[in-house]
Structure 1
Amino acid sequence: MTRRTHAHPDLTRPENGAPFFSTWRVGTPERQAAAVEAIARTWERRPWGSADVLTYHVYAGHDGTTLMHYSQWRSEQGYEAYFKTLRQERNDEIDTAVPGIERVRLDRYRLYRSRARAAGDTRVPGLIVTVRIDFEADAAERRKEWVDTVLASLGGPVGDPGLISAHFHLSTDGGHVLNYAEWESDSAYDAVIDAPETPEWERVRTYPGVKGFTGSRYRHSLGLVP
Structure 2
Amino acid sequence: MRTEQHPDLTDPRIGAPFFSTWRVGSPERQAETVEAIARTWERRPWPANGLLGYHVYAGHDGSTLMHYSQWSGEQAYEAFVKTHRQERVDEIDTAVPGIERVGLGRYRRYRSRERAVGDERVPGLVVTVRVDFEAGERRGEWVDLVLKALGDDPEGHAGLVSAHFHLSTDGGHVLNYAEWESAEAYDRALAAPSGEAWERVRTYPGVVGFAGSRYAHVLGLLPG
With structure 1 as the length reference, what TM-score do the two structures score? 0.97
Q: Does 1:52 align with 2:50?
A: yes
Whether contact under 8 Å (1:118, 1:157) holds in the other structure is: no
Alignment of 1:58-77 (within 5 A): 58-77=56-75
- Which amino acid in 1 is paired with 2:180? W
Match of residue 174 from structure 1: 171
Instruction: List 4+ stretches of structure 1 deviating above 4 A.
Output: none
Give the SS at the match of 1:155: helix
For 2:152 and 2:5, how far apart are their aligned partners in 1? Answer: 27
Unaligned runs of 5+ in 2: none
Give the SS at the match of 2:128: strand
Unaligned runs of 5+ in 1: none
Alignment of 1:141-156 (within 5 A): 142-155=138-151
With structure 2 as the length reference, what TM-score do the two structures score? 0.97
Superimposed CA distance per residue, residues 16-35 of structure 1 (whole angstroms, 9 cap, x where no aligned partner)? 00000000000000000000
- Which amino acid in 1 is paired with 2:111? R
Superimposed CA distance per residue, residues 186-221 of structure 1 (whole angstroms, 9 cap, x where no aligned partner)? 000000111122111111011011001000000000
Match of residue 97 from structure 2: 99
For 1:155 and 1:58, how far apart are their aligned partners in 2? Answer: 30
Match of residue 76 from structure 2: 78
- Comparing 91-100 and 197-206, the one that deviates more: 197-206
Give the SS at the match of 1:154: helix
For 2:28 and 2:4, how far apart are their aligned partners in 1? Answer: 21
Q: Percent identity?
A: 73
**Residue 137 of structure 1, CA deviation:** 1.7
- Which amino acid in 1 is paired with 2:217? H
Match of residue 197 from structure 1: 194
Match of residue 9 from structure 2: 11
Whether contact under 8 Å (1:129, 1:182) holds in the other structure is: yes
